[in-house]
Amino acid sequence: MTDTARTANDRELVLTRLIDAPREKLFKCWTQPELMKQWFAPLPWKLSHVEVDLRAGGSSKVVMRSPEGQEFPNLGVYLEVVPNEKIVFTDAYTEAWVPSEKPFFTGIITFEDEGGKTRYTAIARHWTVEDRKAHEEMGFHEGWGQCADQLAALAKKI
């Protein structure tokens, strides 16, 4: 019913992978700054700075650095955190509760057991169809896909 409609929602982008690692490790990779630096940006991009206040209302600050050395800060707020299961965050606030210049998307990351592996799902929900399209054209699937590969590789090593 509503779940089907939501999946079919034309304001949403979804990436899902079956990753051969326990969900506890994937959750760590998503939430510990030193681990995030190793996979969160699609190489050769890097993270030059990461701050994580992992709780509903806590701030998230990630500065991405391009291969040319240009820095792009990403400010957001965590909306929901269920250890080893779910992380929800948005760029609609720069901190609790200061509206950003532009609410672009809400990220919903889930980790589920599936046949001894982990079903990793990253959903990006947008406020408008235009923003969903723009995100897709910015390379959502390629970028988040490459990062999911990097995440899977890192989770095997730790």
Asked if 130 interacts with a second copy (CB under 8 A), we say no
Q: Which is nearer to a second copy, 100 or 146 (CB)?
A: 100
Asked if 102 interacts with a second copy (CB under 8 A), we say yes
Question: What's the sign of the alpha-carbon dihedral 68, 92, 88, 127?
Answer: negative
Q: Which is nearer to a second copy, 23 or 126 (CB)?
A: 126
Which of 52, 54, 112, 127 binds a second copy (CB under 8 A)? It is: 127
Q: Which is nearer to a second copy, 56 or 153 (CB)?
A: 56
> In whole angstroms, what is the distance from residue 123 CA to residue 55 CA?
19
Asked if 7 interacts with a second copy (CB under 8 A), we say no
Asked if 97 interacts with a second copy (CB under 8 A), we say yes
Which of 18, 56, 129, 158 binds a second copy (CB under 8 A)? It is: 56
In the complex, the smallest distance separating the C-beta of residue 56 from a second copy, rounded to whole angstroms, is 4
**Contact 15/2 with Cβ under 8 angstroms?**
no
The beta-strand segments (E) located in the chain are 12-19, 46-52, 59-65, 71-82, 86-90, 93-95, 98-99, 105-114, 117-126
Contacts of 73 (CB under 8 A, 6+ apart): 49, 61, 62, 63, 64
Q: Please count the residues of this chain forming the interface with a second copy, following the rule CB under 8 A.
A: 23
Q: Measuring CA to CA, which residue among 45, 3, 14 is closest to residue 109?
A: 14
Asked if 57 interacts with a second copy (CB under 8 A), we say yes
Q: Which region among 29-37, 85-93, 112-120, 147-155 touches a second copy (by CB under 8 A)? A: 85-93
**Contact 3/123 with Cβ under 8 angstroms?**
no
